[in-house]
Amino acid sequence: MFWGTEPFSSWFYPFAWWSYILMVDGIIYRIQGNSLIISRTPEFLVMIPWSVSIWLIFEMYNLRMENWYYVNIIDHQWLRWSGYFISYSTVLPGIFETTELLECLGLYSKAKTKARVVSNLHFPVFYLIGVLFLLLPLFFPRYCFPLVWLGFIFLLDPINYIHGSPSLIREWEEGHPRKLLLLLTSSLICGFLWEFWNYWAQSKWIYTVPFFDELKIFEMPLAGFLGFPPFAVECYVIYNFISLFRFRRNWEKDNYLSASRKRLPRKLLFISTIIIISFYIIAFWAIDRYTVNSYTSPIDRIPSLKKENIATLHRLGIYSVAEFLKQCSQEKDRKELQIHLNIPDRQFQELIESARLIKLKWMGIKNFLLLKKVGITTIEKLSRQKPSNLYHSLVKVNKSKIQPPTKARVKIWVREARKLVEKNHNYFE
């Protein structure tokens, strides 16, 4: 990925996560002789499409909340949609494999609390809280967005409890907090890995969380890490709810071995598959249109380059803006490249400035061309802009059917430009 070698450069996230999942599963099998992938393969295969479906629910919420967006995503649709599926399919296996590993290592094995009776009278209150927590982020996204990471817990765990699916309420009632503690811990491990690997990746996400966008660890605002623990619990609760429709079959070792071997009727299975695939198509289309901010930036899409210049760059093995900037990182290489292109000093410097701007927070060529329409052609010019004014200018000049960048994204570009200008950073690499 650091060398820019494909497919690792564009596909770093799924390579990293699937390597981690396979490694952890192997360790679990060595410890207890039973693991999700090796011993419960049918459940693991079922988990993959459900992992995608569950995460896409939150992607749909993000269309309203606008808490993150994607940059430098693969340009070809069928590859990009395959990438969505492969990447989102790691969510549940990543959390659950980490949870089981911590359990195998004996973490929290002695954790006990006082047993208590949970009255069913509390459940209507839980349902109401769950519904409110899921609705408020849609109506007041700027202030209520954190509630979406709690809503399904209150809404679905009481249902799991009533109908005999694994339930955190039942474990709390019995004085066994271990599962909850394991999930909370695994979420912090996975959260760190999500953000650590995303930070270095070429295709990645960037956060636009309101109020908490200054102090960050990697790309994530520091306060945002508080969302990972409830998210892991929510995934566990949602998957247990889904297991109710699968004769309570679940991924956990004891539950899997004792669950019914019955199968869903073929007709119901077929209908469910059609619904899920339709959901994928709608969600992937929406992500492309509203959440993806930029696609990979081939060098031949920079308008100022002539055909003969593009042919020369391709002959030199330079196909992308990132590769061009890498070649320009050393003065000697930069001069040699200019000689090959046979471009005057001023035109060559303008080409470099354009490439720097395109790569700034991976805004991409589409947004670069939009900035160019309002006279922003360098990072220095961008750094002098007021984000709100620039946003309104971009909306006015945007004549295409493509969505203009949001206020939050423009703010990120300006802030990043100012950082680079303050540091006097050349920004070639």
For residue 65, what are the CA distances in angstroms to 133, 199, 211, 268, 414?
13, 22, 13, 34, 21
State residue 194's pLDDT score. 94
H-assigned helices in 175-291: 178-200, 228-243, 253-258, 266-286
State residue 429's pLDDT score. 44
Report strand pairing: 220-221 vs 68-71: unpaired
DSSP assignment string, 237-264 = HHHHHHHGGGTT--SSHHHHHHS-----
Report strand pairing: 204-207 vs 216-217: unpaired
Domain ranges of the chain: 12-291, 299-423
State residue 7's pLDDT score. 86
Q: Which two tokens stand for residue 304?
A: 């100022």
Q: Which residues does 94 contact at the CB level (< 8 Å), separation at least 6?
A: 17, 20, 21, 190, 193
State residue 401's pLDDT score. 67
SS3 311: helix
State residue 425's pLDDT score. 55
Of 120, 9, 93, nearest to 362 (Cα)?
A: 9
**What span, in angstroms and rounded, lies between the C-alpha atoms of 354 and 349?**
9
DSSP 8-class letter at 115: -
**What span, in angstroms and rounded, lies between the C-alpha atoms of 1 and 12?**
6
Q: Which two tokens stand for residue 18?
A: 């699937």
**What span, in angstroms and rounded, lies between the C-alpha atoms of 15 and 8?**
7
**pLDDT tens, 190-248?**
999 999 999 988 899 999 988 776 778 888 888 889 999 999 999 999 999 999 998 88
Q: Which two tokens stand for residue 347?
A: 């035109």
State residue 349's pLDDT score. 92
Q: Which residues of the chain have pLDDT under 70?
A: 213, 260, 401, 425-429
Contact (Cβ atoms closer than 8 angstroms) between residue 340 and residue 312: yes
**What span, in angstroms and rounded, lies between the C-alpha atoms of 420 and 429?**
13
**pLDDT tens, 34-49?**
999 999 999 999 999 9
State residue 118's pLDDT score. 83
Scan for tokens 């093995």, then name that residue.
Answer: 317
**What span, in angstroms and rounded, lies between the C-alpha atoms of 407 and 52?**
29
**What span, in angstroms and rounded, lies between the C-alpha atoms of 175 and 180?**
11
